[in-house]
Chains A and B, each alone.
Chain A
Amino acid sequence: MVDLEKVIRDVNIKQGLSFQPSSHPTEDGNSYVACYSGHYLSYGEITIAFEASFPYALPDIFIKNTSKPHVHVTPAGKICLTDESALLLDINRPEQLVIDCLDRVAQILSILPGTDLYQEELKKEFLSYWGIYTPGIIYFSILQIPKKEGFIQEFPLFKYGKSLLLANSTDDANRYICETLGLDSTAAVDSPEEYALVIGLKQGCAFPSPFKQHNWFSVMHYIRDNTDAQISHEFFKLMNARVKNKIINIIFISPGADGNILFGVVVGFSNRRKTPMKSSIKTSVMQINLLREDRDYLLARGGSALSLTDKRVLLLGCGSVGGYLANNLCQMGITQIDLLDKDTFKSENVYRHFMGYDALRRPSSKSKADLLRGVLSDKYPDVDIDSMNYQDRSVEAVILSNPERLSQYDLVISALGEPTINLAINKALVENNIPTPFIVCFNEPYGIGGHVITTNLSQKSCLRCYYSDFLEGTLRPFRGSLVAPNQNFKKSLSGCSSTFVPYSALDSQQTAIHAAHKAVDILTGKLNRNNFFTWRGDSSLLLSQGYEVSDFYNSENPSDEITNPKCPVCQRRHSVS
C-alpha cells in the first residue's frame, strides 16, 4: 500500500499546491480509501480520490463547480481522464502519476464550449453525455437500420421489462426476447406499445448539446438543420397533425465512419385543445438513451466487417477445423453459411471439436452439420445457417454431381482434409469457369502445422498445382507438406475401423483462425490473388514419434503465387490466356 499522505505531500511541494484530506466527493464514493481536496489553477476546488488499487489504477478527480458544461465531465463532476486500459503506469512514481493526472485535468477543463475542439471532443463522447440528465430513459434497440441515407420512417416500440424495445417488427421483437434472451413466452409481445419516428440524419450532421435542456422548438430546428430538404419537408408535414395530449418518440440516426450513432428524444404534448404538433407550445422534451442490441452494432463491436453479412459461404466439412472455422466465420459477421458434412458427431470427437458433450445431449439429429447449425444458431440468433439436410450429404452427391451449385456462393471453403475431393472441386471450378474463390485448409499431424490454400482468385494457378509433379505434372503428394513423404500417420486405438491422424484441438483452431482471416480478406476484397499460407508448430512431438519433417518445414513461406507449369488442370487455361 502506498503512503498516500506522502504522495500528496510530494505533489503539493512539487506543484505548489495545498491539497488536504477531505470527505468523499460523491454519495457513492465509498470505494475511495482517501480523498484530498484543494484549489487547482482557476478551476476552483477539485478532489483527488484514491481507490485501494492505486497506483495500479489512476485516482479519480472531481471538480466541485459543474456549472460550466465541460466535456469529459460527468454530472457528478467526475473528470474522465483517459482510458486506463490503454496505459502502462509507472507504479514506482506514484506522485508523478497524480501530477500527470492533474495536467490532464487542466487540459480537459481548458476546453471551452463553442470552440472547435469542444465540438470535436463532444462528438467523441456524445453518447456518454446524451441522457445524463434523464438517466432513467433508456430504450433498447434491435432495429436493423435501413441501409440508406436520409429517411424518415415509423418503427414499433415494444414493452420490454420496464423499458421499451425498438424493433423492425413484432416477430423480430419476439425472436429477440424468446430466442436470443431465452425469456419464457410470457415475456413475448403481441403488438407494439408505441411507435417511434426514426429519422436518418444527413452526413456530417451536428450533435445537439447534451448539456442543454432542449425544448420542442430546438428539436424541430435541429431536425430542419440536419436532414435533407425532403426529409425535413416530410417531417413537418407529419407535424401538422393536430394533437391534444400525446407523447411521441423521435429517434435520430447519425451516420458516422465508425457506424451509426443512435439517440432520441421523447416529446410530450399537453395542449388545451387540439393543436398542430409543430406549433404546440405546452411541450416537454426528454433525452432518450438507446442501448443497441442490433446485429450490425454487435458485429461492429465484435470487430467484424459489416459488409460480410450479405455474403454466402459454403463450408465443406464440420470436423475439428470446420467446427472452429464455422464459429469464427459467424463471429466475423459472415452469417449466411451452408454446412455440408456427412458424418455424425460422436463422443470421440468431443476433445478436439468446437462442440462438446452438450451437443451430444441434444435430442435432434446427430449429424455434425445439424448439430453445428444448432449450436451456432443458439449462440448467434441472427445467423442464417443451412445444414444441407439431404439424404446423401456427401460432397460427391451434393456438389460434384452439380458443380454449378458452387457459383451460388461468394466463397467455398473446404475443411474436409480429403485431398481427393478437394481436387475434384478444384477441377470442377476450373473446367466450368466458376469464379467462386476456394479455400482449402487442413492440419498436418502431431502439431507440426497446418495450411490454408486460397485458389480460384487468380488464373495463374489452382489447387492441382500443389499436387502435380514439378517436372511431369503427374499426381504427387502435397508439395507444401511439412512432413517428409511416404510416412503413414494414421493411428488406431481400437482397430482399423476408427483410425485417426493425431493432432490437437489447438492445431485445428490455429488452422481455422488463419482460414477465417483469408475468408474475410477475400470477402472484403483485400485478397484478390491466389495465396498459400502455412503455419508451423513445434516439431519435437513428431520427431519423438520417429517421423521426419520435410525440407519445407525449415523453409520460409513463399511470397509469390504458387504456380506449376506442368499442372494438368490449369495449364490449359494458361495456354489460352
Chain B
Amino acid sequence: MSTLQTAFTQFHDNIKLEDENQTLRDKRDILLNKLKDEISTDAASYTTFNQGSYAMNTGIKPEDGDYDIDVGLKFDINKSDYTDPVVVKKWVRDALVGHTQSVSIRRSCVTVQYQQDNEPIYHVDFACYAADNDDGKLYIAKGKEFSNADEKHWEVSDPQGLIQLVQDKHSGKDAEQFRRVIRYVKKWKVRKFSSDGNGAPTGIALTVLAYNLFSPSSVYDPITASRSYNDFDALHNLIKNIKNKFSMIFKDSSIYYTISANLPVEPYNDLFDKMTLKQKTTFHDKIVAMDDKLEEVKKKTTLSEKCTLLQDLFGSDFPILTTRSMVGSSESA
C-alpha cells in the first residue's frame, strides 16, 4: 500500500544521516585517538562530546558527499588563564597535523579534512571549549591563527544544553516526526540555495525555527490503536508558520522581509544576524514558493502527481509512488 506518508518515509530513509553511522564513528575515533597520543604535554586535559546535527539526530546526507562530524573538546582550563584562545586550538591542530591532507584552524573550530581513495570525504570539526571557568559556564575558543586580536576571544556557549533542549522538546513518535521534518527542511535548503551555502540560513537556524514553530501532526486510529503520522501536514504547517514569522520592512523604497530566531541557550544570539536583508528576503521568497507548492500538492488527487510536485522541492530523493490497485487480504469465510 502506497500513500503520501509512505513516500515521505522513503524520502526520509534516503536523506537521513544514520544515527549510528559506523564509518563516521570510526573516523572520529581514529582522530580522537590520534589527538590523545599526539597532543602536546603542555596541553591541558580534556573530555570530548558529540555536538551538531549528528548529535541531535537531525543530520542529512551531504549532497557533495562531504560528511561532517562535530566534536566538542572540553579543556579543563580557565579562560582567564588563556587570553589567546587560539593557543588551545593550536594544541589540537598541532596534534593532528600531518594525519591528513588538511588540518586548519577556522573561526569556531579546528577542521580536519579526511579522504581516502574511493571513499567519501569527511571532515571533522573540533570545537574547543574552556570548561573550568569562574562562572561555571562553557566558553568556546573563537578566532583564526592570524586573526586580529579582537577577533580572538572566548564566547559563552552551551552546545550540550542546546542538544538537550531539542531532544526534550517532543517525545516518542512526535519527536521522530519533529526530527524528520527538520531533515526535510534542511534538504529543501540544500536544493534551493546555492551549493556554497552562501546566503542560506544555517542548519542550526532552521532547527531553531522548527524548535519554536513545529507542532506534530497525527491521527489516532481506534481500531489499530495506533497513531498515523502525517508528515506532509506537519511540514506544511511549519512552513506556514515560518512564512508568518517574517516581517515586512521598507528600505530604500524596496520591500524586504526579515526574520530572527535566537538561540534558545547561551549566548542567545540571533541566528539570522549574519544574513543580509536581501538574503533574508530571498529566504522569505523561497519559503513562500514552498508554501505555494505544498498547497498545490494538496490539491492534486493522485499520489504520483503529489510526489512529482514534491520532487520539485526535494529532488530525486523524494520517490514517485503510485497508488496500488490491490492490497492484501487475510479474509475468508
The distance from the CB of A270 to the nearest CB of chain B, in whole angstroms, is 67
- How many angstroms from the CA of A210 to the CA of B251 in the assembled complex? 111
Residues of B within 8 A of A511 (CB): 333
Interface residues in B301-333 by Cβ distance below 8 A to A read 303, 323-325, 327-333
Decide: A472 near B328, CB < 8 A? Known: A322-B333, A508-B333, A550-B224: no
Query: Which residue of B2, B4, B225, B330 contacts A444 across the interface (Cβ within 8 Å)?
Result: B330
Decide: A441 near B333, CB < 8 A? Known: A477-B327, A486-B328: yes
Residues of A within 8 A of B226 (CB): 551
The B interface, classified by DSSP as helix, strand, loop or mixed, is loop
The distance from the CB of B48 to the nearest CB of chain A, in whole angstroms, is 41
Interface stretch (choices B52-60, B68-76, B215-223): B215-223
Any chain B CB within 8 A of the CB of A480?
Answer: yes
The answer to whether A479 touches B221 (Cβ under 8 A) is yes
- How many angstroms from the CA of A475 to the CA of B328 in the assembled complex? 10
Any chain B CB within 8 A of the CB of A184?
Answer: no
Interface residues in A480-531 by Cβ distance below 8 A to B read 480-483, 485-489, 500-501, 503, 508, 511
Any chain A CB within 8 A of the CB of B10?
Answer: no
- How many angstroms from the CA of A474 to the CA of B306 in the assembled complex? 14
Residues of A within 8 A of B223 (CB): 466, 479-480, 532, 552, 558, 562
- How many angstroms from the CA of A508 to the CA of B329 in the assembled complex? 17
The distance from the CB of A555 to the nearest CB of chain B, in whole angstroms, is 4
Count of CB-CB pairs between chains A and B under 8 Å: 101
Any chain B CB within 8 A of the CB of A25?
Answer: no
Interface stretch (choices A229-237, A300-308, A376-384, A415-423): A415-423
Q: Which residue of A lies closest to B228 (CB)?
A: A470
Decide: A552 near B224, CB < 8 A? Known: A469-B3, A470-B219, A488-B328: yes
Query: Which residue of B3, B224, B330, B331 contacts A551 across the interface (Cβ within 8 Å)?
Result: B224
Residues of B within 8 A of A252 (CB): none
Residues of B within 8 A of A141 (CB): none
Q: Which residue of A lies closest to B219 (CB)?
A: A470
Interface residues on B, range: 20 to 34
- How many angstroms from the CA of A475 to the CA of B3 in the assembled complex? 9
Query: Which residue of B225, B228, B323, B329 contacts A552 across the interface (Cβ within 8 Å)?
Result: B225
Interface centre among B221, B222, B330 (most CB of A within 10 A): B330
Any chain B CB within 8 A of the CB of A560?
Answer: yes
- How many angstroms from the CA of A480 to the CA of B3 in the assembled complex? 19
Residues of B within 8 A of A556 (CB): 225
Q: Which residue of A lies closest to B328 (CB)?
A: A477
The answer to whether A443 touches B331 (Cβ under 8 A) is yes
The answer to whether B331 touches A418 (Cβ under 8 A) is yes
- How many angstroms from the CA of A460 to the CA of B328 in the assembled complex? 26
The distance from the CB of B303 to the nearest CB of chain A, in whole angstroms, is 7
Residues of A within 8 A of B225 (CB): 551-552, 555-556
The answer to whether B328 touches A471 (Cβ under 8 A) is no
Residues of A within 8 A of B327 (CB): 467, 475-477
Decide: A442 near B332, CB < 8 A? Known: A469-B3, A477-B1: yes
Q: Which residue of B lies closest to A469 (CB)?
A: B3
Interface stretch (choices A161-169, A170-178, A313-321, A426-434): A313-321
Q: Which residue of B lies closest to A483 (CB)?
A: B330
Any chain B CB within 8 A of the CB of A160?
Answer: no
Q: Which residue of A lies closest to B217 (CB)?
A: A471
The distance from the CB of B304 to the nearest CB of chain A, in whole angstroms, is 12
Any chain A CB within 8 A of the CB of B230?
Answer: yes
Decide: A419 near B329, CB < 8 A? Known: A466-B223, A474-B303, A551-B225: yes
Any chain B CB within 8 A of the CB of A156?
Answer: no
26 contacts across the A-B interface (CB closer than 8 A): A319-B333, A320-B333, A417-B331, A417-B332, A419-B329, A441-B333, A444-B330, A467-B327, A469-B228, A471-B4, A471-B5, A472-B3, A472-B5, A472-B303, A475-B323, A475-B325, A475-B327, A476-B3, A477-B329, A479-B221, A481-B330, A485-B328, A500-B332, A508-B333, A552-B223, A552-B224
Q: Which 5 pairs show the lowest CB-CB distances between chains A and B?
A: A417-B333, A555-B225, A321-B333, A501-B332, A417-B332
- Mark B residues whose CB is within 8 Å of A: 1-5, 219, 221-226, 228, 230, 303, 323-325, 327-333
